């Protein structure tokens, strides 16, 4: 089954998110790309924030490069722009938010998706690698929240969505990765009571195994083990996480905040 998400012609007639502007970090590839395409499918104007505009190509999944995310959205009649962003750089995150406001005049949805991983236990993982993972996977979520919140409070649809992992609930992926994903869950729980009185919701999506280039660090044996633990008869696709993000960004979830939505094909239940 192909893991490449596509936007059908005529998607711009969708109204679920037609009056909203969204930022998706790490949106050139993988899950972030799937989220950006699905938000655009529902009519949102999307800022694709990433280090590079071209999608990553994997050795197991997404082995052929798709068109850039913005190009695919625009070719289907949607609205998007690319903003080169290193989420570990505070100034670049501040500019990402300000450019969104300059271009679209509003900010309604922020999806903190950008993430990195490097396998290694306490003795193997270099401190520089640990610091980089924490900067991208954890600190960036707080910095984006800090700069986005004043504008989300002015929105009738303010939403923050962090992309974590099933590894938030246990070890896996390396000493820094699992702890950073657990932090994403708790950050949402801490932010939700702060922003609830302002009508802004903050939630987390915890994906299981999704077919992206991020899985390149795994061995075939580890992939087969993940397949055995996934109860439904396929791995996840970026679109699966994208549809969950659409739900949390939409009015359908206007009474949902501080929640963790596990989208894993039954992985946790199986374990």
- 21 within a domain of the structure (yes/no): yes
Q: How confident is the model at residue 120 (pLDDT cuts 50, 70, 90)?
A: confident
Q: What is the DSSP string of the chain?
A: --------TTGGG--TTTT-EEEEETTTSHHHHHHHHHHHHTT-EEEEEES-SSPP--SSS--SPPPPHHHHHHHTT--EEEEE--TT-HHHHHHHHHHHHHHHS---EEEE---------TTTS-HHHHHHHHIIIIIHHHHHHHHHHHHHTTSTT-EEEEE--GGGGS--S-HHHHHHHHHHHHHHHHHHHHHGGGT-EEEEEEE-SB-SGGGGGS-HHHHHHHHHH--SSS-B-HHHHHHHHHHHHSGGGTT--S-EEEESTTHHHH-
- What's the sign of the alpha-carbon dihedral 80, 84, 87, 92? negative
C-beta atoms surrounding 181 within 10 Å: 26
pLDDT digits (tens, 9 = 90+) for 12-70: 446 899 999 999 999 999 999 999 999 999 999 999 999 999 999 999 999 999 999 99
Number of domains in the chain: 1
Kindly tell me if the per-residue pLDDT of 196 is higher than 70: yes
Cα gap 253→71, rounded to integer Å: 29
Catalytic residues: 177
1 band by pLDDT with thresholds 50, 70 and 90: very low
In a domain, 181, yes or no: yes
Domain that holds residue 51: 11-270
Q: What's the CATH number where 166 sits? A: 3.40.50.720
Tens digit of pLDDT for each residue in 177-195?
A: 999 999 999 999 999 999 9
pLDDT of 227 > 90? The answer is: yes
Token pair for 182: 């657990």
Inside any domain, residue 1: no
Whole-number average pLDDT of the chain: 93
Residue 6, domain member (yes or no): no
Task: Report residue 138 as tokens.
Answer: 């954890």
| Pairing mode of beta strands 21-25, 109-112 | parallel
pLDDT mean over 227-238: 97
From the CB of residue 118, how many other CB atoms can be counted at a distance below 10 Å? 17
Residue 25 tokens, joined: 């970090």
State pLDDT tens for residues 65-117.
999 999 999 999 999 999 999 999 999 999 999 999 999 999 999 999 999 99
Distances (CA, A) of 49 to 10, 111, 189: 25, 10, 25
Q: Sorting pLDDT into bands at 50, 70 and 90, what band is 203?
A: very high
Query: CA–CA separation, 251 vs 36, rounded Å?
Result: 18
Report pLDDT for 167: 94
Domain-located, residue 220: yes
3 belongs to a structural domain: no
Residue 143 lies in a domain: yes
Q: How confident is the model at residue 3 (pLDDT cuts 50, 70, 90)?
A: very low
Residue 2 has pLDDT above 70, yes or no: no
Q: Does residue 40 form part of some domain?
A: yes
Q: Would you state the pLDDT for residue 14?
A: 60
Q: How confident is the model at residue 4 (pLDDT cuts 50, 70, 90)?
A: very low
């Amino acid at each position: 089954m192909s893991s490449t998400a596509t936007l059908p012609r005529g998607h711009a007639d969708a109204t679920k998110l037609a009056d909203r502007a969204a930022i998706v970090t790490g949106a050139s590839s993988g899950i972030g790309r799937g989220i950006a395409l699905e938000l655009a499918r529902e009519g949102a104007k999307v800022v694709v924030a990433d280090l590079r505009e071209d999608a990553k190509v994997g050795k197991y999944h997404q082995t052929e490069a798709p068109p850039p995310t913005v190009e695919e959205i625009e070719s289907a009649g949607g609205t998007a722009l690319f903003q080169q962003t290193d989420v570990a750089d505070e100034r670049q995150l501040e500019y990402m938010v300000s450019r969104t406001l300059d271009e679209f005049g509003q900010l309604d949805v922020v999806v903190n998706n950008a993430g990195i991983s490097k396998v290694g236990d306490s003795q193997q993982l270099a401190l520089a690698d640990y610091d980089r993972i924490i900067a991208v996977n954890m600190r960036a979520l707080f910095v984006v929240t800090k700069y986005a919140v004043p504008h989300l409070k002015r929105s009738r649809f303010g939403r923050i969505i962090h992309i974590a992992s099933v590894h938030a609930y246990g070890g896996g992926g390396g000493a820094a990765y699992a702890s950073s994903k657990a932090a994403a869950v708790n950050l949402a729980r801490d932010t939700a009571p702060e922003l609830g009185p302002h009508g802004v919701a903050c939630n987390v999506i915890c994906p299981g195994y999704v077919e992206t280039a991020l899985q390149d660090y795994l061995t075939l044996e580890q992939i087969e083990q993940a397949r055995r633990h996934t109860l439904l008869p396929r791995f996840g696709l970026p679109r699966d996480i994208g549809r969950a993000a659409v739900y949390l960004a939409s009015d359908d979830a206007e009474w949902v905040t501080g929640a963790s939505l596990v989208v894993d094909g039954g992985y946790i239940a199986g374990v």
